[in-house]
């Protein structure tokens, strides 16, 4: 049971050369003109003894690890973990395993992780990039390693990515608030220059400008603990009594915002309308339920992994990178938190 059989054992037992066995195993038998009889003999035997090739030896020889790295900002965030969940299956089906890690949006940590993955020659990368790791990404691209960014990207870098139409969907969400009669709309975002946050801000600015409303933006420092987020939002509301609605540009800002609103005993949607970017179970269960810009998690995952697998399959062949620059539409799911007159 435990005495691992090697390809050499197989060859000996079948009175064949290692080469022949290897060729059959790798499906190159026909092309190398091994006879049908031998092919079948090998296949049958290999099946019988349940021979399993040694991954290390194979990897050493061909430089491939059959591993894909999944670098999220935080794997315990439902947005990332549900993508992780979906990526997993398709990757497994194609013989790849996934190693994950969380950057915590720390460039230093991200760099180290990429380094470690390089050392292990992972075959491909799926990354939510932190600010400041352009150099490392550039090196990956130069090394022709399949790479997809998601959630955000660097416009200056020629990498594949899957993102959301942030500007457009935020614009529509704000329009929705305007249509509902809200006229003093606050925008709560992170103090970050990342592309997805910029896009959302742009959508907001565009919509309020068009509607002739003032811009009222709160920037919470990146990486704040939840209590600080709640405090910041509470202060924002207290300092700006005229606010009649808030847009939260991420799911955890939304969760913090709800706590802040509750602690001020404001009622939703009468005193304050609410829309959040990124759906979550909390928003669906909250009373009232929260209107949100819902990202197509399923499709994001699909596009990511399919792009990666395609690149892996056609490695070396220079493929059109434009094909991998994907912006998906998000859906505005209107719920009770933003509908005044019922």
Q: Does 130 bind its own copies (CB under 8 A)?
A: no
For the CB of residue 167, give the shortest distance to its own copies in the complex, in Å. 28
Tell me how far apart the 2 most distant CA atoms of the chain are, in Å.
87
Nearest distance from residue 158's CB to its own copies, in Å?
18
Helix ranges, the chain (H): 7-14, 18-25, 36-49, 55-62, 78-93, 107-119, 134-142, 166-179, 195-210, 226-239, 251-263, 281-285, 297-313
Pick from 55, 323, 331, 340: which binds its own copies (CB under 8 A)? 55
Which residue, 116 or 193, has its beta carbon nearer to its own copies? 116
| 285 binds its own copies per the rule CB under 8 A | yes
Question: With CB cut-offs between 5 and 8 Å by kind, which of its own copies, DNA, none does residue 33 bind?
Answer: DNA
With 0-12 / 13-18 / 19 or more C-beta atoms within 10 angstroms meaning exposed / middle / buried, residue 217 is middle
Residue of 12, 40, 44, 60 that binds DNA (CB under 7 A): 60
Structure tokens at 303: 């596009």
Can residue 282 be called a binding residue for its own copies (CB under 8 A)?
Answer: yes
Q: Which of 33, 47, 241, 265 binds DNA (CB under 7 A)?
A: 33
Of 32, 85, 97, 314, the residue at the interface with DNA (CB under 7 A) is 32
Residue 67: DSSP 8-state: E
- 207-226 residues in contact with DNA (CB under 7 A) are none
Write down the residue that tokens 């993102």 correspond to.
163
Piece of 18-26, 97-105, 143-151, 216-224 that binds DNA (CB under 7 A): 18-26
The listed partner (its own copies, DNA, none) that binds 2, CB under 5 to 8 Å by sort, is its own copies
126 forms beta bridges with 70, 148
Does residue 119 interact with its own copies by CB under 8 A?
Answer: yes
Contact call for residue 75 and its own copies (CB under 8 A): yes
Q: DSSP of 237-260, one letter per residue? A: HHH-TT--EEEESSHHHHHHHHHH
Q: What is the token pair recorded at 324?
A: 């991998």
Among 52, 241, 265, 342, binds its own copies (CB under 8 A): 52
Task: Return the bridge partners of 124, or none.
Answer: 68
- 3-state SS track over 301-336: HHHHHHHHHHHHHCCCCCCCHHHHEEEECCEEECCH
Q: Which of 6, 14, 45, 78 binds its own copies (CB under 8 A)?
A: 78
Within 8 A by CB and 6+ apart from 126, the residues are 68, 69, 70, 71, 87, 147, 148, 150, 304, 305, 308
Contact between 255 and its own copies per CB under 8 A: yes
Eight-state DSSP code of residue 287: S
Q: For residues 14 and 61, what is the distance between their CA atoms, to the nearest angstrom?
A: 24
Map the footprint of its own copies across residues 155-184, applying CB under 8 A. none
Using CB under 7 A, pick the residue from 1, 47, 62, 341 that binds DNA: 62
Q: Which stretch binds its own copies (CB under 8 A): 41-49, 119-127, 129-137, 314-322?
A: 119-127
Point out which residues bind its own copies (CB under 8 A): 2, 52-57, 59-60, 63, 65-67, 74-76, 78, 81-82, 84-85, 88, 92, 97-102, 113, 116-121, 142-143, 255, 258-259, 280-282, 285-287
């Amino acid at each position: 049971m435990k005495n691992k059989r090697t390809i050499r054992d197989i060859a000996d037992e079948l009175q064949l050369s290692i080469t022949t066995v290897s060729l059959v195993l790798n499906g190159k038998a026909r092309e190398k003109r091994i006879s049908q009889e031998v092919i079948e003999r090998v296949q049958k035997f290999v099946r019988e003894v349940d021979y399993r090739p040694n991954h290390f030896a194979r990897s050493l020889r061909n430089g491939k690890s059959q591993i894909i790295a999944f670098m999220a900002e935080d794997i315990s965030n439902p947005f990332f973990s549900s993508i992780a969940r979906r990526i997993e299956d398709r990757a497994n089906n194609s013989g790849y395993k996934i190693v994950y890690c969380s950057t915590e949006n720390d460039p230093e940590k991200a760099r180290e992780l990429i380094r470690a993955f390089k050392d292990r020659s992972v075959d491909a990368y799926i990354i939510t990039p932190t600010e400041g790791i352009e150099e490392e990404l550039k090196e990956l691209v130069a090394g022709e390693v399949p790479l997809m960014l998601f959630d955000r990207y660097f416009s200056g870098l020629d990498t594949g990515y899957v993102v959301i139409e942030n500007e457009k969907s935020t614009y529509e969400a704000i329009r929705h608030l305007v249509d509902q009669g809200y006229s003093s709309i606050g925008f709560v975002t992170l103090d970050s220059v990342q592309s997805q946050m910029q896009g959302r801000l742009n959508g907001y600015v565009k919509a309020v400008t068009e509607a002739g409303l003032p811009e009222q933006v709160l920037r919470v420092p990146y990486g704040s603990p939840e209590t600080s987020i709640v405090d910041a939002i509470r202060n924002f509301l207290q300092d700006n009594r005229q606010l009649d609605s808030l847009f939260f540009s991420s799911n955890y800002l939304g969760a913090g915002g709800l706590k802040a609103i509750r602690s001020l005993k404001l009622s939703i949607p009468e005193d304050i309308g609410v829309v959040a970017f990124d759906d979550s179970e909390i928003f669906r269960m909250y009373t009232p339920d929260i209107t949100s810009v819902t990202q197509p998690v399923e499709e994001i995952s699909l596009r990511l992994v399919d792009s990666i697998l395609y690149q892996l399959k056609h490695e070396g062949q220079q493929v059109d990178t434009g094909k991998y620059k994907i912006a998906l539409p998000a859906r505005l799911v209107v719920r009770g938190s933003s509908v005044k007159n019922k």
